[in-house]
Structure 1
Amino acid sequence: MSLKNIILSIFKKVRQFFELILVTILIYMILLIPDVFLFTGNLNQYTWIRLVLNIIGGGLVAYFGYRYLVKQADVVFERLNSKKVGMSVIIFVITWLFLTFGLPALFEHNPLTGSNQHAIDTIFNHLTNWWTLLLFSFNIVVIGPIVEEVYFRGIMFEEAKPLGRIVQILWPTLMFALVHSPSTLEQWTNYLTAGGVLMIVRVVTKKLQYSIMFHSLHNLVALLS
């Protein structure tokens, strides 16, 4: 390969990486839209209305993200495959055991939650009615996983494809951890593990529906505990 071709190849990769950064920033801004209804102002005022708006906002974000993604690649749904479901469940159990018992043992204490999780816990503690709890749970278990999988393991994963398999896998995993605002090594380990395992499910099954199921189950168990 000539020097000219090498330079052109480098410039091409730099341009593609810059484009990926711009896509990542745009995704981050889009994901902030539903949270505006919950994380601003006094939590004691109009809680159920804010939860409904949060769900509607999240639903719209998921819908438009889905519409964009299906135009790029056929990676969202397929007829349910029992082997892939079983594999996803096994991976979930192993991951849950590690995060519940292995990670605290590794760091000799339970990891402190990041600012993102702290905000969720604060909202949860302000819920006093069963319908607000139901709305909040629906957002955590259904809307949240769909949105995050469509954008991280879906759109961002596909947009990173020109940069090679390593970047395609590592970049969405790192950004998934970063968006949850970890501030300690324990928190980084927690979110990188979760994001990495979700990426494994996505890559092995080749369909988002299984990582969405995995993510929803993870959030449900976390909510119940």
Structure 2
Amino acid sequence: MDFNVTDFNVRLRTIKLRELLVGIVIAFILSIALLIIFPVMDSYDDLALMVFVFFLFIFFLYALKGTSGLKQDFNKLFERDNSREILYVLIINMLFAFLVLAIFSTFDAYLTLADSEWVSILDFTPTAIDPAVFLFESFTSIIIAPILEELVFRGVLFNRLKIRTGILPAMLISSFLFAIGHEFGGMTSAFVFGMCMCVLYLKTDNILMGMSVHFLNNLIFTVWDLFALDAIVFQMPVLPLTLLISIISGLLIILYLYKEIGKLLAE
């Protein structure tokens, strides 16, 4: 990282992969040390993870200290073109995320009708929610994940890879690494989401663009889980409409990525 650079986004691009790796290792060591000192923390996996995340945040605060320009980047989010693109990318990614589950749901519904002995592989039964756990997980998903994941995967990993491999390979690699940190069923949608975040970041040189989409996406899906809306949209008679919309959104994402990546590579 180059502390002579005072612009926020330019400083972010100077953070090297080895520096990020050192930050991750130190955060991990400090987390383990606290677990040894306070063994009670080991009983709460989420709490242990939050300690690690806290130390990783400290790394980014240190790496980006003394920079300016974040306020201007925030104001740009509300410019008409940027706001429209944030909403468009959000909507098509959310609908595309339904695709895998919609396909499984369609397959499951067909087998249920065709074979009376078929045991459903999907369970949409609402489960009891512990308020404390829900608030903790919501805070992690809605606030922590968008900030930290965009800084790590787009701000550092994508930026450094595109120097060595070029734009397209950097998008593919960083999005793949981003995706494998998600649940198996959501890896495909997470990969596509990562590609779209790379496009937004590269187009605007504004990491807050991706954070905004990420924040809204996680907020909506948290509310979605709270009200167990899967039980409505992934079951008959709504399921065919869900599948159709998901397919259309998939085509729109392919078109968006093809068009925008083509422009970026042509520059």
Amino acid in structure 1 at the alignment position of 2:75: L
Gaps of 5+ in 2: 1-15, 36-40, 108-126, 225-267
Gaps of 5+ in 1: 1-18, 112-124
Aligned mates of 2:70, 2:158 — CA distance in 1 = 11
Normalising to structure 1: TM-score of the pair?
A: 0.61
Checking the alignment, whether the CA contact within 8 Å between 2:154 and 2:174 is kept in structure 1 is yes
| Residue 110 (structure 2) pairs with residue 109 (structure 1) | no
* Paired residues for 1:124-135 under 5 Å: 128-130=130-132, 132-135=133-136
Q: Which of 82, 85, 103 is matched with 2:83 structurally?
A: 85
Aligned mates of 1:201, 1:129 — CA distance in 2 = 35
**Alignment correspondent of 2:167:** 165
Q: Structure 2 vs 1, CA of residues 32 and 99 (structure 1 numbering), >3 Å: closer, same or farther?
A: farther
Amino acid in structure 1 at the alignment position of 2:189: N
Question: What is the percent sequence identity of the aligned residues?
Answer: 20
Aligned mates of 2:92, 2:31 — CA distance in 1 = 31
Q: Structure 2 vs 1, CA of residues 74 and 176 (structure 1 numbering), >3 Å: closer, same or farther?
A: farther
Checking the alignment, whether the CA contact within 8 Å between 2:200 and 2:209 is kept in structure 1 is yes
**CA deviations over 1:83-103 (Å, ceiling 9, x no partner):** 212211111011112222x34
Checking the alignment, whether the CA contact within 8 Å between 2:74 and 2:208 is kept in structure 1 is no
Aligned mates of 1:168, 1:72 — CA distance in 2 = 26
Amino acid in structure 1 at the alignment position of 2:143: V
CA drift of 1:215 comes to: 0.8
Larger radius of gyration: 2
The Cα RMSD (Å) is 4.0
Aligned mates of 2:20, 2:105 — CA distance in 1 = 33
Normalising to structure 2: TM-score of the pair?
A: 0.53
* Paired residues for 1:31-180 under 5 Å: 41-43=42-44, 51=47, 54-55=49-50, 57-68=52-63, 78-81=73-76, 82=79, 83-100=81-98, 102-105=99-102, 107-109=103-105, 128-130=130-132, 132-163=133-164, 164-180=166-182
CA drift of 1:65 comes to: 2.3
Structure number with greater CO (CA < 8 Å, separation at least 6) is: 1
**Alignment correspondent of 2:120:** none
Counting matched residue pairs gives 179
**Alignment correspondent of 2:221:** 222
Aligned mates of 1:170, 1:41 — CA distance in 2 = 35
**Alignment correspondent of 1:16:** none
